[in-house]
């Protein structure tokens, strides 16, 4: 294992994304918070990952979970790393994942480490203060911990009693995500707000390991305001969007034009047209399909089981028609990732669309993940009724 990522709020999605992009043999699940990769951090295209919040290079794996052993290793690693950094005051930060210590103890260790580094390297160190066990992304950036003289160490407990220490090389660029989300000229609360991070995950689950190139066309047949297509353009795919509502096509066009203006050197073939996904003829045929489908009614309060059943039947019918319609238009082997609705009926229990059990009859093979079960591919917040379930398939 050469590098490590800290997984986002829904770790299974982050794991599936890594597996899709780098192949299952390159991914080593480490704990509920982190995944290892057999490739170096420099080969991970981190800005593409929607499901991971930090990337780091593994500096040591300790066959112990005792804090005094971890502290010793931290001192050794920091002194070694300090020797490789340019002149100047060192910025140090510590983040732990699954380690049973208190923030006070972690800060005390930080101060001890600061003294050790000072005495061994004669360099001054600024420790990033932290009332928590983990620094957040903004703290890492604000304190320049990924800068030239910065060191953030990630200290990760594994279930088998080992401790992995990694040095952060990249953190999620929150500002850029916020710009891509809230900065867009056209947003629409009614069609929903797909977070760009989830759009990246959907895209990556569809795109797999095939390199993105301008001669590959991605289709979003329910493109709405174009969040998935925005992310697809940023990785260099040509984009094709259709939606039932002509107004949505205008919204997508405005948003994609805006993104091109915002992003230096970004060019892309863009094809947009209104179309009902249950009957539309797409021309040319896309190389991959990714999107968030029609999700049915939005609910502000818990609906009765009858209403959930009714909504599910309605959405199921439309999506089945769509899957049948597009089937004959896709080349065998075309990958698809669709975010479809599932309804949270009680905490962590979901009503799924019936079509999920009929994918094979509809002419699609479900893509299986080594490290994640299909039913874990769900994106939701605790209080959300309509969750998004990600179905990853290829056309038979
Ligand atoms: C949940 S929204 C997708 C939002 C999108 N991810 C975005 O970036 O804004 C679903 C979209 O599907 C469209 N839609 C609903 N029924 C459709 C159909 N039969 N064919 C095509 N689009 C449809 C709606 O107009 C809506 O824009």
pLDDT given at position 193: 84
**Cα–ligand 1 centroid distance for 315 (angstroms):** 12
* Residue carrying the six token digits 């029609």: 294
- Residue 83, C-beta contacts closer than 8 angstroms, at least 6 positions apart: 121
pLDDT given at position 188: 85
pLDDT given at position 215: 87
Query: What is the spatial distance between Cα 151 and Cα 381, in angstroms, rounded to a whole number?
Result: 33
Sign of CA dihedral 128, 133, 135, 136: negative
User: How do the pLDDT tens digits run along the chain, 396 residues long?
Assistant: 999 999 999 999 999 999 999 999 999 999 999 999 999 999 999 999 999 999 999 999 999 999 999 999 999 999 999 999 999 999 999 999 999 999 999 999 999 999 999 999 999 999 998 899 999 999 999 999 999 999 999 999 999 999 999 999 999 999 999 999 999 999 887 776 899 999 999 999 999 988 778 789 999 999 999 999 999 999 999 999 999 999 999 999 999 999 999 999 999 999 999 999 999 999 999 999 999 999 999 898 899 999 999 999 999 999 999 999 999 999 999 999 999 999 999 998 999 999 999 999 999 999 999 999 999 999 999 889 999 999 999 999
Atom of ligand 1 nearest to the CA of 226: 8
What tokens appear for 190 in the block? 């009614």
pLDDT given at position 300: 84
What tokens appear for 138 in the block? 């903004």
3-state secondary structure at position 250? helix
Atom of ligand 1 nearest to the CA of 280: 20
Query: What is the spatial distance between Cα 146 and Cα 142, in angstroms, rounded to a whole number?
Result: 10
Identify whether 64 is preceded by a cis peptide bond (ω within 30 of 0): no
In degrees, rounded to 5, the angle at the alpha carbon of residue 204 between the alpha carbons of residues 202 and 208 is 130
294 ligand 1 Cβ < 6 A: yes
Backbone angles phi, psi at 115, to 5 degrees: -65, -45
Of the candidates 197, 207, 205, 269, the residue with the CA atom closest to the CA atom of residue 227: 197
191 ligand 1 Cβ < 6 A: yes
H or E segment to which residue 70 belongs: helix 67-82
**Cα–ligand 1 centroid distance for 227 (angstroms):** 11
Query: What is the spatial distance between Cα 16 and Cα 339, in angstroms, rounded to a whole number?
Result: 14
203 ligand 1 Cβ < 6 A: no
192 ligand 1 Cβ < 6 A: yes
Q: Which of 189, 227, 294, when mutated, tests ligand 1's pocket best, judged by the most ligand atoms within 8 Å of its CB?
A: 294
- Residue 379, C-beta contacts closer than 8 angstroms, at least 6 positions apart: 10, 13, 198, 201, 339, 387, 388, 389, 390
Contact 160, 98 (CB under 8 A): no
Helices assigned H by DSSP within 124-279 = 137-142, 174-182, 196-207, 227-234, 246-262
Residues pairing with 238 in the sheet: 217
What tokens appear for 210 in the block? 């095939």
What are the CA-CA distances from residue 317 to residues 301, 312, 339, 350, 367 (Å)?
A: 24, 8, 16, 19, 23
What tokens appear for 1 in the block? 């294992």
Sign of CA dihedral 370, 375, 378, 383: negative
Q: Nearest residue CA, atom 26 of ligand 1?
A: 224
pLDDT given at position 100: 94
Contact 378, 347 (CB under 8 A): no
pTM of structure:
0.96
**Cα–ligand 1 centroid distance for 250 (angstroms):** 13
Residues pairing with 171 in the sheet: 54
181 ligand 1 Cβ < 6 A: no
**Cα–ligand 1 centroid distance for 15 (angstroms):** 27
What are the CA-CA distances from residue 253 to residues 32, 170, 223 (Å)?
A: 39, 32, 10
**Cα–ligand 1 centroid distance for 292 (angstroms):** 7
């Amino acid at each position: 294992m050469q590098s490590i990522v800290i997984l986002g709020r829904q770790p299974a999605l982050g794991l599936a994304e890594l597996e899709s992009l780098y192949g299952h043999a390159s991914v080593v699940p480490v704990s509920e918070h982190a995944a290892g990769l057999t490739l170096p951090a420099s080969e991970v295209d981190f800005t593409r990952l929607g499901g991971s919040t930090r990337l780091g290079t593994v500096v040591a794996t300790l066959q112990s979970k005792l804090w005094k052993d971890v502290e010793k290793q931290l001192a050794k690693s920091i002194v070694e790393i300090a020797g490789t950094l340019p002149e100047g005051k060192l910025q140090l930060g510590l983040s732990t994942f699954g380690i049973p210590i208190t923030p006070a103890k972690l800060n005390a260790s930080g101060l001890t480490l600061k003294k050790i580094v000072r005495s061994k390297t004669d360099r001054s160190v600024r420790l990033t203060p932290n009332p928590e066990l983990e620094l957040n992304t903004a703290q890492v950036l604000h304190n320049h911990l990924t800068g030239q003289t910065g060191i953030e160490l990630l200290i990760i407990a594994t279930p088998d009693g080992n401790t992995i220490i990694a040095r952060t090389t990249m953190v999620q660029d929150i500002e850029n995500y916020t710009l891509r989300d809230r900065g867009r000229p056209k947003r629409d609360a009614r069609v929903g707000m797909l977070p760009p991070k989830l759009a990246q995950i959907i895209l990556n689950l569809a795109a797999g390991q095939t390199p993105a190139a301008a001669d590959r066309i991605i289709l979003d047949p329910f493109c709405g305001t174009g969040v998935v297509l925005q992310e697809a353009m940023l990785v260099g795919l040509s984009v094709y969007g259709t939606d039932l509502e002509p107004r949505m096509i205008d919204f997508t066009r405005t948003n994609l034009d805006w993104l091109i203006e915002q992003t230096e050197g970004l060019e892309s073939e863009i094809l947009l047209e209104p179309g009902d996904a249950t009957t539309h003829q797409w021309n040319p045929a896309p190389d991959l399909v990714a999107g968030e489908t029609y999700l049915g009614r939005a609910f502000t309060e818990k609906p009765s089981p009858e209403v959930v059943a009714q909504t599910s039947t309605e959405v199921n019918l439309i999506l089945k028609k769509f899957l049948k319609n597009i089937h004959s238009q896709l080349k065998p082997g075309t990958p698809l990732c669709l975010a479809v609705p599932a309804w949270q009926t009680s905490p962590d229990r979901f009503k799924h669309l019936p079509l999920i059990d009929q994918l094979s009859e509809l002419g699609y093979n479900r893509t299986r993940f080594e490290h994640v079960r299909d039913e874990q591919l769900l994106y939701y917040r605790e209080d959300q009724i309509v969750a998004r379930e990600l179905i990853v398939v290829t056309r038979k």
